[in-house]
Chain A
C-alpha cells in the first residue's frame, strides 16, 4: 500500500474528529483569548466586549518592565545552568550500557512528570528550617544552627533548574545518542584525550543542537508559574505568575490575556529560531 492523496470525501473521514476537536477546543479558545485581550475589564464578571488597547498600554509601566526583564533573565539563567549540567551528563549517559540508560530514562521521566506543586512542596521542605538541608550541615558541623533558605531568589533558581533539568537531558538525548561514533574515534586515533575530544569535537559538532536546546529550555522555564510563588518573594515573580495572579485573584482577564498573547509572541519567535537552527544543522 503506497501513500496516496485522498480522493473521495470518505478518504478524509479519519480527519474529521481530530480536526473538529482541535479547532473547537484549541483554535477557538486561543482566538477568544486574543479577542479578550482587547476587551474591557468588568469587575463584576469576567469582561465586557470592547476594542481597546488599554491592556497592552499597561506593558509600558516600569512595574511590568521589571517583571518582564526579571522573567527573561531568570529563564536565561535556568537554561544556561541546565545545559551546562545536562550536556556533558547526557553525553556520558549515551556511552553507558542500554540497561543503565533505560534506568536513567525511567527516573528522568518520573521526575519530569512531577507536578510543579509537588516540586515546589519538596524543595520548600528541603529548604525549610525544621526538615531542611541545613540540619544536615549542622549535624556535620558546618553550621551552628539550622536556617530557612527560603523565600529567596536562589531557592527559585534551584527549583526551576530541578524542574527543567530532566527536560533538558531528554531534549539533548536523541542528538547525542545518534551522534556518529566515527567522529569520536577519529579524534581518539589522532591522539586526543577523551576530555579534549569532547570539548573540541563533540561540542562544536553539536553547536546548533546546543543553541536549540538553550532556547527550548528557555521557553520551558518561562512557563514556570508556581515555583516563584512557593519558593520566592513577590519580587521574584515572573510573567507566568503575574498572568495567573491577574486572571484568578485580581479577576482581570483582559490584562491577563494581553500578557499571555505577549508571552506567546516571545515563545513563538524563539521556537521559530529553534527550527531555523535545526534546519541549518540538517543542511550541514
Chain B
C-alpha cells in the first residue's frame, strides 16, 4: 500500500517535472540545437537573456508590466476588500463578482474584450493599455487573498482599539493594515508571477508593437529555435518557485489555498 502510494506520487511528480527536465537539459546545449541529452555544457544561453538586446528588452517589458499591473491590481482590490469587510452593503458584492469574473472566464474572451475596447477608444498598441488590462485581469488574486486576510482578523481586536478611542483611520493604520500585510504581499506576488507569464491579453493589447517575454518566446518558436527560449522558460519556473517558496516560508500557503488555519497537527 505504501509502495503503491509512493509510486503514485512519483508518477505525478514525474509527469509534472518531465517537460521541465527536458527543457532544462536543452537549455545547456553547447551549440544552437535542440538535443537531449545535451551535447556539451554551456550557460551562455542564460547570459543571452540579459546580453542580447532583444531578449533584454522583452525582459524589461515583462518585468515593468508585471510590477505596474500587480501594483494597480492591489490598489483596486485593497479598498474594495476593506469596504466589503467594514460595511454592510449587499449590493456592493456585485463589484466582487466583477473582480472575480475576468479570471474565471476563458482568457481569450477577456483578451478580446480588451482588444475591442482599446481599438474603439483609439489607444490600441500603447504600452500602458497592457498594464491596465493585466491589472483588471489579475485583480482576482489580490482580491481573494485580501478577502481571506480580512476574514481572518479578530473583530474584537478592532473593537478594543476603537473603544480605546482610535478613529477609523487610526484603526486602519495601526491594527488592520499590519494584520493583512502578509495577504497583501502574497496577492501582489501571485499577480506579479501570473502577469510575467501571461500571453494572450498582452498579445491582443500590445502584441503588434511590443514584445514581452512570452510573446517573444512564441514568436521565436515560429521563426526557428534557439536554446535561449529554453533558458527563459527555466528562468520563469525558477522565479515562480522562488516567489511561491517565499510565500510558503513567510506565510501559510496551505491557508491561502483553502485549508483552515485551525487544523494544526
Contacts and interface: CB of A to CB of B under 8 A. Distances in A.
Given A118-B233, A121-B217, A173-B258, 11 more contacts: A1-B155, A4-B87, A26-B98, A97-B265, A102-B254, A107-B13, A113-B244, A121-B221, A162-B16, A173-B259, A271-B104
A132 to B, nearest CB: 7
A121 B229 contact: yes
Contacts of B215: 117
Contact of B89 (A6, A173, A223): A6
Interface size range on A against B: 35 or more
Decide if the interface of chain A is mainly helix, strand, loop or mixed. helix
Interface in A95-127: 97-98, 101-102, 105-111, 113-126
A219 B104 contact: yes
A3 interface: yes
A115 B199 contact: yes
A63 to B, nearest CB: 19
B185 interface: no
B108 A260 contact: yes
A165 B18 CA distance: 14
A122 B233 contact: yes
A36 interface: yes
22 contacts: A1-B162, A2-B155, A6-B87, A14-B82, A18-B95, A22-B98, A25-B133, A26-B101, A98-B265, A102-B253, A114-B237, A118-B237, A121-B23, A121-B229, A122-B233, A162-B15, A162-B19, A165-B16, A223-B106, A260-B113, A263-B108, A263-B109
A-B pairs with lowest CB-CB distance, top 5: A174-B258, A223-B106, A29-B117, A122-B19, A131-B36
A85 B16 CA distance: 12
Contacts of B132: 25
Contact of A230 (B25, B77, B104, B221): B221
Interface in A187-244: 194-195, 219, 222-223, 225-226, 230, 240, 243-244
A21 B86 contact: no
A15 interface: yes
A257 to B, nearest CB: 6
Contacts of B75: 17
B116 A33 contact: yes
A74 interface: no
Contact of B217 (A92, A117, A132, A257): A117
